[in-house]
Amino acid sequence: MAVWQAEHVAKRLQETSPDIRVQIDRIRTTGDKILDTPLAQVGGKALFVKEIEEALLAGRVDLAVHSMKDVPTELPAGLTIGAIPPREEPADVLISRTGTRLSDLPRAARVGTSSLRRQAQLLRHRPDLVIVGLRGNLDTRIRKLHSEGLDAIVLAAAGVKRLGLARMVTEVLSPEIMLPAIGQGALGIEVQEPGTATEPEGPSVAELVRVLDDRDTHVAVRAERAMLRRLGGGCQVPIAALASVDDSRVFLRGLIARTDGTSVIRGEMRGAASEPETVGHMLAEELLDRGGRAILQEIVEGGVHG
């Protein structure tokens, strides 16, 4: 998936700036190497970007392409998200072994996912399900659907579509059943902030990538990330959000949940698209006041890591 994303951005850059030469440098991150342990137990999604950001800061690469759902809300000093291209489908999808939809899966069906966010929402909808940890790349997860006797797995629609596997999808899960991860379906192009010592001659990299930015996607992701930043959670806490933009307004839905799905606090907020961080912050405060603060405190005190 990371290779597809990098090649996609490289192609778009060469289309918009034919005079530049783009070379892809593959960096295997810690998150790519640890495949047998839930991310919540080993440092979270930041493991997918740490080594890449180090290469970016050192000037060994000029830009980095990330899945925005993997990018921590606080970036290292000197780095910025230069562009967020148009978003792919942000939803989650169910792929079942027999083509059975979520509501029709047999009682105590085994469903694969290592996401606490997905686990909490699945159990909220179907408390009888047995959640089975599932790591690895997309091909590996699909293979385990059969090799490990699972009834179904839940994946991000964006990854499935980008790799040409949409035909395998049994059901696209609605936001009412499964609110996606913050930034899901969006790519982020990270660059050094203009004016840094390692910036190459000519147009800055930030200027080159800016033409790939999609205003509505960028605003939506900023609202989602602002909510997450205020809540202070990562993949150790089931937190979800999805924003949409309609001209001058942004509409944000979000939730905090217990990992077992017994308590799910949902909310929504509307505001000016010119102030997405304010919208995200306000929704976070509402979720905290309505029970989210107690859930977060339970996790901190109990050392819950999924």
Write out the catalytic residue numbers: 70
Q: Enter the DSSP assignment of 60.
A: S
Residue 223 near residue 272 (C-beta atoms within 8 A)? no
Q: How far apart are CA 129 and CA 109, in angstroms?
A: 5
Residue 185 near residue 160 (C-beta atoms within 8 A)? no
SS percent in the chain: helix, strand, coil, step 5: 40, 20, 40
CA 1 to chain CA centroid, nearest Å:
13
Sign for the CA dihedral angle at 171, 174, 179, 185 comes to: positive
Of 249, 255, 256, 254, the closest CA to residue 276 belongs to: 249
Burial environment of residue 28 by CB neighbours within 10 A (0 to 12, 13 to 18, 19 or more): exposed
Residue 167 near residue 125 (C-beta atoms within 8 A)? no
